[in-house]
Amino acid sequence: MSEDTTVFQKLIDDAVLKRIAPGFQAVVFDKDQILFSGISGYASAPSVEDPDGREMTPSTILWVASFCKVVTHIIALHAIERGFIQNFTMNDLDNHEKLVEILPELKQGSGTLCTKIIEGFEEPGPDGKKVMKLRDAKNKITLRMLLTHTTGFAGGAGWNNPLISQLFQGDDPIINNLPHVVTGLIKDFQIPLLFEPGTGFQYGVSTEWVAQFVVRGTGKNLRVLYKEFIVHPLSIPSDETDLWFPSSAKDRIASLHIKNADSPSGFIIIKQPLYTREDGPDEGHAYPAEGLLWATFRAFVPILQAMLRHDERILKKETWERVTKDDLKDRGITISKPYFESPIIFSTIDEYTKSTSPDISPGENMLSCYTLSGLAVGSYGWAGAVNAFFFLDPKNGIGGVLGTQMLPFMDSSIVEIRDKFENLIYETFVKKA
């Protein structure tokens, strides 16, 4: 008997009517099938320049931002286990010496900024510029640390750390908060550490270094690797997900919005100045692995389904088992309350999702208890800064992805819709099973 999925469509339709977001895409899936797929509202809200706006469609391409981190890590692991990176195997995740053969910037004692820990700032000099107080890190950075955000790197412009945020103080708030994502410059994510590598968790530019590792190790850029290792094996239409799209695809790409009470639609469109190139990055540049990815949700879901069923076209069984294990718990690393510096990019939040345990770390990514929205123990997920969210529940073999194109991240009204979406998934497809 087929389940009634009209509740999902009603949820996103009502959210659009209430102007919670300009538009939504939402998909519910199991390991092999789509259980619900829906769209609502606008890809580009009506404006003075375009009074009719553009409707959201299943083929509308969304900027999925940090979904790119998941893809980048899968690409790196695929390259290692399939032998595309010479002299580096899955047994070398903790081998600093082999890592720095590819990433010499991270070599202990090299004197680079990436091997220094920032402790504050000296008084400004005659030129008015602040001078960092730095010390050499004692611990060595490894690929495992890069993959798990335990190196000590913060966000590239310090949007999640007050010390690093002082390194980028220009006139453009978007560039201040996401410099390397806008400029593509490798030097913009060569920043100091906040603590000894391997002793804590800090979400940040570690993924950029994972990307540099696999790009330098294979000799291919990230866009090519995404197609070769993920898109083509899963038979995903290449015109629905990519790290670059031609100008001819402009009308298929959703606009980025912020709320504005003075706008008739309730939203205004803002620029989306991401660094990208068709034929690969320029010298000294990189595709920003922290957030350079576009996709329709129907194109991204096959990747999530591959993760859910441990698809061996993407990673070997033993690798899937390793990457879906709580690595931080084994190392005694806890996750503290997130700090967000920029109200333009991020809302202030106490926790990613409401838990049923008061003791669970607020930033936990792999659940050790049920959430109030219904996610089971062992579920995991990620999000994009444009208020796009996905989760995977291996226990029940189900997942969901819901999102829009709006800043700031973790808008409280959208988070409420996300939680209702998750609740409905369990009420509709799990509790009746």
Q: Is 314 helix (H, G, I), strand (E, B) or coil?
A: coil
- How is domain 60-382 classified at the CATH fold level? Beta-lactamase (3.40.710)
Give buried/exposed letters for 304-323 (b at 16+ CB in 10 A, else e): bbbbbebbeebbeeebbeeb
pTM summary value? 0.90
Q: What integer pLDDT is reported at residue 267 of this predicted model?
A: 97
Distance CA 399, CA 417 (A): 16
φ and ψ of 9, to 5 deg:
-65, -40
Q: If phi over 0 gives left and psi between -120 and 50 gives alpha, with beta otherwise, what is residue 149?
A: left
End-to-end CA separation in angstroms for the chain: 11
Q: CB atoms < 10 A from the CB of 167, how many? A: 21
Tens digits of residue pLDDT in 237-259: 999 999 999 999 999 999 999 99
**Residues 382 and 399: beta-carbon distance below 8 Å:** no
pLDDT band at 181 (very low <50, low <70, confident <90, very high): confident
- Tell me the mean pLDDT in the region 96-100: 98
Q: What integer pLDDT is reported at residue 392 of this predicted model?
A: 95
pLDDT at 98 over 60: yes
Is residue 345 packed enough to be buried (19+ CB in 10 Å), middle (13-18) or exposed (0-12)? buried
Question: 262-266, 338-342, 355-359: which range is least confident on average?
Answer: 355-359
Question: 46-60, 299-313, 345-359, 381-395: which range is least confident on average?
Answer: 345-359
pLDDT at 433 over 50: no
Side-by-side strand order, sheet with 62-63: 62-63, 294-295, 241-242
> What is the chain's mean pLDDT, rounded?
87
Widest Cα–Cα separation across the chain: 76
Percent of the chain residues topping a pLDDT of 90: 70
Distance CA 240, CA 249 (A): 10
Structure-model confidence comparison of residues 130 and 193, the more confident one: 193
**Residues 179 and 136: beta-carbon distance below 8 Å:** no
Which residue, among 90, 86, 31, has the nearest Cα to 319 in the 3D structure? 90
Instruction: Dig out the tokens for 374 from the structure.
Output: 């219904």
pLDDT at 172 over 90: no
- Tell me the mean pLDDT in the region 169-183: 63
Question: 93-97, 268-272, 367-371, 412-416: which range is least confident on average?
Answer: 367-371
- Tell me the mean pLDDT in the region 400-421: 95
pLDDT at 390 over 70: yes
Tens digits of residue pLDDT in 2-15: 688 999 999 999 99
Polymer length of the chain:
433
Q: CB atoms < 10 A from the CB of 261, how many? A: 7
pLDDT at 416 over 60: yes
Give the start-to-end residue ranges of the domains of the chain.
60-382
Which residue, among 143, 102, 136, has the nearest Cα to 119 in the 3D structure? 136
- Tell me the mean pLDDT in the region 135-154: 94
